[in-house]
Amino acid sequence: MVAKKIVKSGAKCTCNWGTGVLALILFAVGFWVLVNGFVTQWISITTQSGTSYWQIMLWYLGGFVLLALAKMSKWSAYSGCSVHSMS
């Protein structure tokens, strides 16, 4: 319903598409890194492979940093756009 009001009012999307695509890529890579951290931790627990906790923590840290950068990139892409919200 809100979208119909915006379209009727004549508002146009002014998002930065390059930054939006960058945000999408960062979200995908960040999620992939977090999943790899979980898998590394799970394999380390079940097989007693001796994987260092620092390696696992670096996977998680890298994933969270990439997700934070993706969120900031998304905010940057949506800044000033009257159609999209900043959430």
User: Any idea what the Cα angle at residue 44 is, between residues 61 and 65, rounded to 5°?
Assistant: 10
Q: Write out the residue range of the structural domain in which residue 47 sits.
A: 17-78
* Mean per-residue pLDDT over the chain, rounded: 84
Is residue 3 situated within a structural domain? no
Q: Is residue 50 included in any domain, yes or no? A: yes
The pLDDT value recorded for residue 56 is: 87
Average pLDDT of the segment spanning 18-32: 95
- In this predicted structure, the answer to whether residue 21 has a pLDDT above a threshold of 90 is yes
In a domain? residue 11: no
Q: Is residue 46 part of a domain?
A: yes
Beta-carbon count within 10 A of 16 CB = 16
27-36 pLDDT, tens digit each: 999 999 999 9
Tell me whether residue 6 is exposed, middle or buried, using C-beta atoms within 10 angstroms of its C-beta: 0 to 12, 13 to 18, 19 or more: middle
What is the distance of C-alpha 53 from the center of its chain? 24
Q: Is residue 85 part of a domain?
A: no
Total domain count, the chain: 1
